[in-house]
Amino acid sequence: MAHSPSQPQSDATSSEVKPANFLRHIVEADLAAGTHASRRWCGHPGSGPEQQAGAPDPARIRTRFPPEPNGYLHFGHAKSILLNFGLARDYGGVCHLRFDDTNPEKEEQEYVDAIIDSVHWLGGDWTVNGVEHLYHASDYFDFMYQAAESLIQAGHAYVDSQSAEEMRANRGTLTEPGRDSPYRDRGAAESLDLFRRMKAGEFPDGSHVLRAKIDMTAPNINLRDPAIYRIRHAEHHRTGDRFCVYPMYTFAHPIEDALENITHSICTLEFEDQRPFYDWLLERLAEAGLLVRPLPRQYEFSRLNLTYVVLSKRKLIQLVEEKHVAGWDDPRMPTLVGARRRGFTPEGFQMFAERIGVTKSDSLIDISVLEECQREHLNETAPRRIAVLDPLKLVLTNVAADHEELCEAPNHPQKPEWGKRQVPFSRELWIEREDFAEDPPKGYFRLYPPGATPAGDPRPGNRVRLRYGFVIECTGCEKDAAGNVVAVHAELLPDSKSGTPGADNYKVKGNIHWVSARHAYQSEVRLYDRLFSMPAPGARRMGDDAGDPEGLERNFLDDLNSNSVQTIVAQLEPALKDAAPEDRFQFERHGYFVADRVDSRPGAPLFNRAVTLKDSWSKGK
Ligand code: ATP
Ligand code: MG
């Protein structure tokens, strides 16, 4: 089991200080008060009596991450995963991975597999002491059905045969109470008979629904006899056609939590108004002897909203299906599979989650906060390499054609213990096109040929240092028929090699990177940028059709960034040829890159840009 502080309150002062938040305070208070200490666990999810027959629950708390397998996980889910698995880890608990698969439509095995991979990748671990806590809500259908029958028998539920429209009309509004259904006082025996026939498949979809019997005048609309079971003649991806009645989410979720002995059921704020029903339902089932107290408690936090992305599954599915991106794992997608291909790290997400914290107030976080966390982690962990992304040939005219020597480059400037590597040097090199200017603008310190000053005096070609190599002096350039520069010429100063005595006597302002043309590894590099060019894709902008009704959205696809990916052929230092998929590097002066885990072949990696070295968006790109 994970580390469990004997005095939970001391957690904030332990060596691994985690930022406090209201949920950690709740957990600490519950542990101190022993709120959940009497729970027993039979080794697997089960009813109250089954759990009672087990040993004291070895998990001090139980949390869960309950995705619906109807899409891939996105950055918002990362917040929930890190929160739930993090609480369990820090307080001697267990976090369950539960597939909330009670809706027969839209759920697929492909999503289940991808979710498992992504939660693992982020560091979520549901195997504790060799026991796997991976569950499927659909395994609880039998219990849920029995719970529904028991509610009917106790007079807490009835079958309503109104049409959907009638039900809607009788629900009332925020300011008006609802009206009782004419079927509300149907006897338990009649409701039970109808419910069994619903299950037996005698009725079409929508003809009857089972409702909890609470209070049609309750100020909280969620307590106005909510629907708890409906008829759906649909195949379920795990239970097939065994059922044609399915529980509603609001009925299923509390039961799933209770069967799994969850102590702290953490969800997003939209569910705050559902909490009274959550408690009502579990109390009724405890009264009926199906569950045992202490019951799970629900807590809400604000969901993650981020600029420059969309986090709704519906919109993400649309991006994939309409091929605005190459797939769910397109490195521009705000999905966890996309982030992984992009070169983002789990540690970067962890840093982000800690930085934004957990609160109950809605907020919109700037995507640059996430990018900066990724950058910080990559800066610490990514070895440095040299890459020329926009190659221009440099010929050192005083170096012999067959000359070859090695220069030493540090693997990380702040980590001498990472050592140095050798990079080959020869007469012909690749440099960045922007490191040469035939006509240098004012203040340009890189390569330019001999010419004349504005006053007409002769001006020598400029000197720069080839990073980790020699100082060179530009002597001219070659052009093609169209006048484009095709090669730069320079002479090497032989006694200027970095690391040799006297090298520092040369004072030059420019320092450019290079790779030996003969040794370079030529490869495809994808320069990714934000998928959307607007902070709130699809939101109405100031001055948009003022006469339109409030709340009308523009099409979020209109805000796609037309320049979100650029594929180039780059010249890379030879060592990069051996990069394994998912190896991450800083390409000096360019940013952080990862060897693509999908398209790379052994000995032929392709690279994706994760983030640039600096945030170029905040400066009004
Ligand atoms: P969507 O609204 O995009 O369909 P969802 O909430 O329906 O997402 P689920 O699969 O039901 O997706 O979510 C699983 C868990 O992830 C839930 O507990 C939910 O509260 C949490 N979650 C989903 N989106 C966010 C978000 N933006 N921020 C924090 N937690 C989230
Ligand atoms: Mg959902």
What does the pLDDT read at residue 545?
Answer: 54
Asked if pLDDT for residue 309 goes beyond 70, the answer is: yes
The last residue of one of the domains, among 189, 223, 249, is 249
* The two structure tokens encoding residue 596: 């693509």
CB proximity list for 603: less than 8 A, separation 6 or greater: 577, 578
Specify whether 178 is located in the same domain as 133. no
Q: Is 14 a domain residue?
A: no
- pLDDT tens-digit profile of 266-292? 999 999 999 999 999 999 999 999 999
3-state secondary structure 319-386: HHHCCCCCCCCCCCCCEHHHHHHHCCCHHHHHHHHHHHCCCCCCCEECHHHHHHHHHHHHHHHCCEEC
Specify whether 453 is located in the same domain as 338. no
Which pLDDT band holds residue 552 (cuts at 50, 70, 90)? low
Specify whether 135 is located in the same domain as 260. yes
Which protein residue has the closest C-alpha to ligand 1 atom 23? 77
Kindly state if the Cβ of 313 falls inside 6 Å of ligand 1: yes
Ligand lying closest to the C-alpha of residue 98: 1
What does the pLDDT read at residue 97?
Answer: 98
- The CATH number for 495's domain is 2.40.240.10
Asked if pLDDT for residue 13 goes beyond 50, the answer is: no
Ligand lying closest to the C-alpha of residue 67: 1
Find the domain containing 313 and state its range: 22-139+251-349
Q: Quote the ligand 2 centre to 313 CA distance (angstroms).
A: 9
Asked if pLDDT for residue 298 goes beyond 60, the answer is: yes
What does the pLDDT read at residue 237?
Answer: 87
Q: Is 378 a domain residue?
A: no
DSSP 64-112: EE---SSS--BHHHHHHHHHHHHHHHHTT-EEEEEE-----TT--HHHH
What does the pLDDT read at residue 618?
Answer: 65
Q: Quote the ligand 1 centre to 34 CA distance (angstroms).
A: 30
Backbone angles phi, psi at 241, to 5 degrees: -105, 25
- pLDDT tens-digit profile of 130-154? 999 999 999 999 999 999 999 999 9
The last residue of one of the domains, among 204, 224, 249, is 249
Q: Quote the ligand 2 centre to 268 CA distance (angstroms).
A: 10
Kindly state if the Cβ of 48 falls inside 6 Å of ligand 1: no
Specify whether 258 is located in the same domain as 243. no
Rounded distance between C-alpha atoms, residue 484 and residue 210, angstroms: 77
Asked if pLDDT for residue 14 goes beyond 50, the answer is: no
Q: Quote the ligand 2 centre to 66 CA distance (angstroms).
A: 9
Note if 313 is an active site residue: yes
Surrounding ion ligand 2 within 5 Å at CB are: 68
When comparing pLDDT for 230 and 362, which is higher?
230
Which of the residues 40, 50, 68, 376 is marked catalytic? 68
Kindly state if the Cβ of 312 falls inside 6 Å of ligand 1: yes
What does the pLDDT read at residue 304?
Answer: 97
- pLDDT tens-digit profile of 474-500? 999 999 999 999 999 999 999 999 999
What's the domain count of the chain?
A: 4
Specify whether 509 is located in the same domain as 546. no
Specify whether 392 is located in the same domain as 442. yes
Specify whether 506 is located in the same domain as 545. no
What does the pLDDT read at residue 459?
Answer: 93
Specify whether 267 is located in the same domain as 222. no
Q: Quote the ligand 2 centre to 460 CA distance (angstroms).
A: 68
Which pLDDT band holds residue 16 (cuts at 50, 70, 90)? low
Ramachandran area for residue 472 (φ above 0: left; ψ -120 to 50: alpha; else beta): beta
Rounded distance between C-alpha atoms, residue 16 and residue 9, angstroms: 14
Kindly state if the Cβ of 315 falls inside 6 Å of ligand 1: no
- pLDDT tens-digit profile of 495-519? 999 999 989 899 999 999 999 999 9
Which pLDDT band holds residue 229 (cuts at 50, 70, 90)? very high
Nearest to 245, CA basis, from 152, 133, 167, 313: 152
Q: Is 1 a domain residue?
A: no
Q: Is 229 a domain residue?
A: yes
User: How far, CA to CA in Å, does 20 sit from each of 76, 182, 299, 423, 468?
Assistant: 20, 51, 16, 47, 46
Q: Quote the ligand 1 centre to 9 CA distance (angstroms).
A: 30
What does the pLDDT read at residue 7?
Answer: 37
Specify whether 245 is located in the same domain as 258. no
Q: Is 317 a domain residue?
A: yes
Which pLDDT band holds residue 3 (cuts at 50, 70, 90)? very low
Kindly state if the Cβ of 80 falls inside 6 Å of ligand 1: yes
Specify whether 549 is located in the same domain as 506. no
The last residue of one of the domains, among 249, 268, 290, is 249
Asked if pLDDT for residue 450 goes beyond 50, the answer is: yes
- pLDDT tens-digit profile of 332-382? 999 999 999 999 999 999 999 999 999 999 889 999 999 999 999 999 999
Which protein residue has the closest C-alpha to ligand 1 atom 27? 76
Q: Is 198 a domain residue?
A: yes
Ligand lying closest to the C-alpha of residue 74: 1
Average pLDDT over residues 451-456: 87
What does the pLDDT read at residue 107?
Answer: 67
Mutate to test the pocket of ligand 1, among 268, 313, 361 (most ligand atoms within 8 A of CB): 268
Which of the residues 171, 230, 303, 433 is marked catalytic? 303
- The CATH number for 115's domain is 3.40.50.620
Specify whether 512 is located in the same domain as 395. yes
Asked if pLDDT for residue 6 goes beyond 60, the answer is: no
**Centroid of chain to Cα 602:** 28
Mutate to test the pocket of ligand 1, among 23, 75, 80 (most ligand atoms within 8 A of CB): 80
39 touches 262 (CB < 8 A): no
Specify whether 305 is located in the same domain as 189. no
Q: Is 356 a domain residue?
A: no
Q: Quote the ligand 1 centre to 121 CA distance (angstroms).
A: 18
7 burial type by CB count under 10 A (0-12 exposed, 13-18 middle, 19+ buried): exposed
Kindly state if the Cβ of 69 falls inside 6 Å of ligand 1: no
What does the pLDDT read at residue 542?
Answer: 61
Q: Quote the ligand 1 centre to 312 CA distance (angstroms).
A: 9
Rounded distance between C-alpha atoms, residue 249 and residue 257, angstroms: 12
Rounded distance between C-alpha atoms, residue 71 and residue 327, angstroms: 12
From the alpha carbon of 267, which atom of ligand 1 is closest? 20
Kindly state if the Cβ of 79 falls inside 6 Å of ligand 1: yes
Residue 293 identity: R
Kindly state if the Cβ of 67 falls inside 6 Å of ligand 1: yes
Kindly state if the Cβ of 477 falls inside 6 Å of ligand 1: no
Which protein residue has the closest C-alpha to ligand 1 atom 18? 267
* Mean pLDDT of the chain, nearest integer: 94
Average pLDDT over residues 36-65: 97
Q: Is 355 a domain residue?
A: no
Average pLDDT over residues 418-439: 97
Say what percent of the chain tops pLDDT 90. Answer: 89
Which protein residue has the closest C-alpha to ligand 1 atom 22? 77
Which of the residues 179, 230, 313, 554 is marked catalytic? 313
Task: Kindly report the length of the chain.
Answer: 621
- The CATH number for 179's domain is 3.90.800.10
